[in-house]
Structure 1
Amino acid sequence: MQLPGELMLQVDPGRPELVDEVLDWAGETASGRLSVELAGTETWVAAALERRGCARVPDGAFMLAMSRSLRRLPDLPGLPDGFVIREQEGAGDFAGRAAAHRAAFGSEWVTVERHVRMRGTWPYRPEFDLVVVAPDGGVAAYCQGWFDEVNGVGEFEPVGTRPEFRRLGLARTVCTAVLHAFAKAGGRRAVVYCRGDDAYPVPRRLYESMGFAAYTRTHWYR
């Protein structure tokens, strides 16, 4: 719960009655009007919200859920001269990776300390968290992957490029490298979640060009 009333939840579709327990708690905890973002596939959550008088908000910004097979992957695109892709190798890379995220998203949320702590959190594996290093040694772009061994699914979360290094194909190349890493680990599918509305179209276009296709999108309920 992000006060005053923004709720994030997931409930097993086999136990839809638990949605009401979560919403009861949320109603007691929120200090403002409840606001919930959920995927279009989570019909059991939408039904519970509608029973309580919440309604789907008209379209604005939304997230698109996309996936692709890990078979017949494209070859790794080339990089501009002097740029290399690799795993992070020490404190300098950790700081550069955190700084690249802040620059890419205009957010101060990811500090070096948070990034290092995340690297120690299951199921993090460094071979799926790759960076593009610029000729000056700094981190220009990155793709962080998470791999679910049980289901054979890899996820991109997050992907970013520093503004001064955009339009060089760095994100495409590092994402493709992570796709190959997922496949090497025995993965069968990859997923990514990105903005789907026309106000922020570039990530969607990138993933579509890499063979990803949408399978659902998010909606807000209030």
Structure 2
Amino acid sequence: MKAFNEKYVDTEENFNNVHAFLRKMVTLTGKLQTWEFVRFEFWNRYEKSKSADPNFKEQNAHLWKNEAGEIIGLFISESGGSFFSLIVHPDYPQLAGEMVEWTRNVWGEGKKKLNTDCYPYGLEVQALLDQGFVQDSHIGNTRRYDLAHTDYTLNLEEGFYIRCMAEGTDEGAKSELIEQTFSPGNSNVGSIEYWRKDLKSYKAELDFSVVDDKGRHIAFCFGFVDQDNGIAVIETIGTHPDYRQSGFGKAVITACFMRLKEQGVTMAYITGFSAEANALYQSLRPVEIIPMHSYVYEPQI
């Protein structure tokens, strides 16, 4: 079948079409892709807010469509630079080679290095190797949790409580904790916008924190759900530096798992990169661990 490629234009229709494509990919393949619907929502919102280039999205996202106009391939770069990702529809495996070639020769023209992250089952992997990319390193793991067949018990020490944003938890306090966790020393923490609530899949009842008896936030996580397919992605997880290794991270994720299970969600995914994160996520009893490797191409100039 013939495929057509075109630049991504930043419209609501295109956003919804790509969002639907990424959600459909999980059900078509039975596997999580390196880009899922939540990551795309973050890219759409975060890059819009921080990029000074009005053409950033058009320059760093590209679509392949079949003759019926359906998306069958996606190229996307999270923040420009040398890093990119490819998602290939399973019915069009031959498209992977064309997409890698386009990435290398068009988007990658003049770049000294290109790199991407892949799961071992990704259709793009062999195409990357065929066109000069080399596997570089193991960078992280995605874990799958079977919520339908796993029982979770919440254990939290006295004086600490689970709260969700639907209960009226203070947005400013949680924003400050997120910045203290990921950007310690940031002098602008008090003015950080709580932009996650604007994401398409955000639900206040899945926006969890551990708080102490004074209402101070200690640990946090966000659950995002593809309701059509009963799949959740737990994204943005952290604990205040002063309270790590105390079980608060496990507690807040457990609370999220329990709420998801109540809502009929059967599967959840979490990705970890550091040794500490991977140890935490492993303690939550995943049913599958999916390694992620980086692939690098350095043109001979």
Aligned to 1:218: 292
C-alpha distance in 2 between matches for 1:179 and 1:92: 19
Query: Is 157-166 or 131-140 further displaced after alignment?
Result: 131-140
Q: Partner letter of residue 228 of structure 2?
A: V
Instruction: Report the TM-score, using the length of structure 1 for normalisation.
Output: 0.84
Identical pairs, percent: 23
* Residues 105 and 129 of structure 1, relative CA distance in 2, 3 Å threshold: same
Ranges in structure 1 where 5+ consecutive residues have no aligned partner: none
Aligned to 1:73: 151
Map 1:47-196 onto structure 2 (within 5 A): 47-57=126-136, 59=137, 62-70=139-147, 71-81=149-159, 83-88=160-165, 93-106=170-183, 112-113=192-193, 115-116=194-195, 118-195=196-273
C-alpha distance in 1 between matches for 2:113 and 2:280: 36
Q: Partner letter of residue 133 of structure 1?
A: V
1:34 aligns with 2:108: no
- Judge conservation of contact 1:19–1:48 (CA < 8 Å) in 2: yes
C-alpha distance in 2 between matches for 1:220 and 1:16: 20
Deviations 1:23-69 (A, max 9, x none): 34433223332111111121x20111112111111x35x11011121
* Residues 101 and 18 of structure 1, relative CA distance in 2, 3 Å threshold: farther
- Judge conservation of contact 1:153–1:187 (CA < 8 Å) in 2: yes
- Secondary structure at 1:9's aligned position in 2? strand
**Alpha-carbon offset, residue 155 of structure 1:** 1.7
Task: Name the structure, 1 or 2, with higher relative contact order (CA <8 Å, separation 6+).
Answer: 1
C-alpha distance in 2 between matches for 1:12 and 1:79: 47
Map 1:200-219 onto structure 2 (within 5 A): 200-219=274-293
**Alpha-carbon offset, residue 148 of structure 1:** 1.6
Instruction: Report the TM-score, using the length of structure 2 for normalisation.
Output: 0.63
1:19 aligns with 2:19: no
Backbone CA RMSD of aligned residues:
2.4
Q: Partner letter of residue 144 of structure 2?
A: S
- Secondary structure at 1:78's aligned position in 2? coil
C-alpha distance in 1 between matches for 2:176 and 2:99: 36
Flag the structure with larger Rg.
Answer: 2
Q: Partner letter of residue 51 of structure 1?
A: D
